[in-house]
A = this chain, B = another copy of it.
């Protein structure tokens, strides 16, 4: 019996200035999808460890199996059956691309099993089918970084053009996950349907400056670009003590601060490992003062996305 395991990491969509457009890849946490062929000619979810207890075992409702099924159909192998075990490292509703990671890990494992007939672009489009079941919105901003790693720029909703952007050497980040849950669909419903000309222009200038900053390694430009006039003003209401945590991060030296995807996870950029640690400490303290429990991590943007792992790498 062949058993194949794929790991897909958490990711942060939007990155303040890039609503539905930018995403970045974290090293941890991540989801693991393990596949082994069965003789039932169908997809059978044998276990889901970690994550919310209400994650569906129905293969037509679970984002990993929906993505796998989409890929199987495209490969002309829809009668191949697999037993599927899912290990959730990323909490659902965290803003860190939990459903995207399961969908990506599923298609990466499947593709490896068949010796990689599908291109990255095809994998993205099948993973998107899984994401669509889970979050009800068609966006690549978590799927792309989870699959491709690094920082990704999405040009269109068809996945025709997705670009990897350079990561400045000194760039560090801190992530804080306050212990509240936000449903992506609820957070999306808050987004205004129209934007003033002034806000549109400034958002264009910010994202253009962000891309220039990454290419030129200019962290001053990066800091100036990290503004969000679209999602943050309405979504911050869903995150308790958002402004206090933001202030703590900026006072501790953050280059910028924002909501990870739909939240509640929050991220801050820093120009050194030390500053990233200082920010982590400052944000923990801000949460502690408000009796808000949270998890935090500091590190760098991970240049590598989803990958096949060995049995030994599964904790």
Instruction: List A residues at the B interface (Cβ < 8 Å).
Output: 18-22, 153-156, 160-161, 163, 165, 191-197, 199-212, 215-216, 221, 224-225, 230
Q: Indicate if the CB atoms of A201 and B163 lie closer than 8 Å.
A: no
- Shortest C-beta distance, A138 to chain B (Å), equals 13
A208-B205 CB under 8 A given contacts A197-B193, A197-B194, A221-B161:
no
Residues in B with CB closer than 8 Å to A18 are 204, 208
Residues in B with CB closer than 8 Å to A20 are 201
Alpha-carbon distance A136/B216, docked complex (angstroms): 34
A225-B155 CB under 8 A given contacts A21-B205, A205-B21, A208-B207:
yes
Q: Indicate if the CB atoms of A210 and B208 lie closer than 8 Å.
A: yes
Alpha-carbon distance A110/B192, docked complex (angstroms): 48
Q: Indicate if the CB atoms of B155 and A230 lie closer than 8 Å.
A: no
Q: Indicate if the CB atoms of A195 and B200 lie closer than 8 Å.
A: yes
Which residue from chain B places its CB closest to the CB of A210 in the assembled complex? B208
A196-B194 CB under 8 A given contacts A163-B221, A208-B21, A212-B211:
yes
A165-B212 CB under 8 A given contacts A191-B197, A196-B193:
yes
Residues in B with CB closer than 8 Å to A197 are 191-195, 230
- Shortest C-beta distance, A286 to chain B (Å), equals 29
Q: Indicate if the CB atoms of A205 and B163 lie closer than 8 Å.
A: no
- A-B pairs, top 3 by smallest CB distance, nearest first, are A215-B215, A211-B211, A195-B200
A-B pairs with beta carbons under 8 Å apart, 15 shown: A21-B208, A153-B209, A153-B212, A156-B202, A163-B212, A194-B194, A194-B195, A195-B195, A195-B197, A197-B230, A203-B204, A211-B211, A211-B212, A211-B215, A215-B215
Q: Which of B154, B195, B209 contacts A163 (CB 8 A)?
A: B209
Q: Indicate if the CB atoms of A200 and B153 lie closer than 8 Å.
A: no
Alpha-carbon distance A155/B209, docked complex (angstroms): 7
Alpha-carbon distance A156/B224, docked complex (angstroms): 10
Alpha-carbon distance A182/B208, docked complex (angstroms): 29
Alpha-carbon distance A48/B307, docked complex (angstroms): 68
Which residue from chain B places its CB closest to the CB of A225 in the assembled complex? B155
Q: Indicate if the CB atoms of A153 and B208 lie closer than 8 Å.
A: yes
Alpha-carbon distance A195/B203, docked complex (angstroms): 12
Alpha-carbon distance A207/B193, docked complex (angstroms): 21
Residues in B with CB closer than 8 Å to A192 are 197
Residues in B with CB closer than 8 Å to A212 are 153, 163, 165, 211, 215
Residues in B with CB closer than 8 Å to A191 are 197
A19-B193 CB under 8 A given contacts A165-B212, A221-B161:
no
- Shortest C-beta distance, A136 to chain B (Å), equals 16
Residues in B with CB closer than 8 Å to A165 are 212
